[in-house]
Amino acid sequence: QFSGGVFQYTGDDNTRTSTRTANDWEPLIGFNFGWNVTDYFAPELQVKYSTNANSGNREHVMNVNINGVLTFITDYLTQMKNFKVLPYVQAGPMAQFAAIPGDPLASDSSIFLWAPGVSIGGGVRFMVSRYGYFGVMAQSDFVCLPEKSQNVAGTNEVIIGGGWSAQPAFLGLAGVHF
């Protein structure tokens, strides 16, 4: 499945200057690949990517999730031949990889980081033919960001404070289901 939407990224707030680097909501694209082991359950690999020009430097953020997806299949929601409603929930571990703009006064222009986390979400898929579907999803990744420092005027300054960061996302989906 392919997805597109927006997410809130707060991992790039500069603690030295108390300024926010990113926009409130950043655009993102992604894809999922999974396989139903039963009618109701599927493990799924999800990759989401966002890039945006911020503070004169380009920001790159990629989240990789491994979700367990539980689909609620009921007779009432699947009784029509060419249209089925399939609500679902998902959860699992995730990792974030990012290159974000550094402090404007630092000797290097970017900060590279990776961070582990967990993800929860849910949505609904609408099957419109035997295999095709579209849908919507709300998801939040809870990321444990590392503290990052940069050399600013000869002094090592903390730029990214670190700690847990909730990063909600809202996505539209389109794909095929076999």
pLDDT tens across 111-136, in order? 899 999 999 999 999 999 878 999 99
Predicted local distance difference test score (pLDDT) of residue 56: 65
Predicted local distance difference test score (pLDDT) of residue 16: 82
pLDDT in tens, 42-87: 999 999 999 887 656 678 999 999 999 999 988 777 788 888 899 9
3-state secondary structure of 104: coil
Question: Helices marked H in 120-162 — which ranges?
Answer: none
Predicted local distance difference test score (pLDDT) of residue 46: 97
Alpha-carbon dihedral angle through residues 94, 112, 106, 103, given to the nearest 10 degrees: -30
Q: What CATH architecture does domain 2-176 belong to?
A: Beta Barrel (2.40)
Predicted local distance difference test score (pLDDT) of residue 55: 58
Average pLDDT over residues 103-107: 83
Tokens linked to 155: 């002094």
Whether the predicted model's global pTM rises above the 0.75 cut? yes
CA distances 144 to 57, 127, 131, Å, are 24, 36, 37
CB 88 within 8 A of CB 36: no
Q: So where are the chain's domains? A: 2-176
Phi, psi at residue 76, to the nearest 5°?
-60, -40
Tokens linked to 27: 């655009």
Percent of the chain past pLDDT 90, that is, above it, reads 53
Residue 10: is its pLDDT beyond 70? Answer: yes
Nearest residue to 102 (alpha-carbon basis) of 60, 57, 146: 57
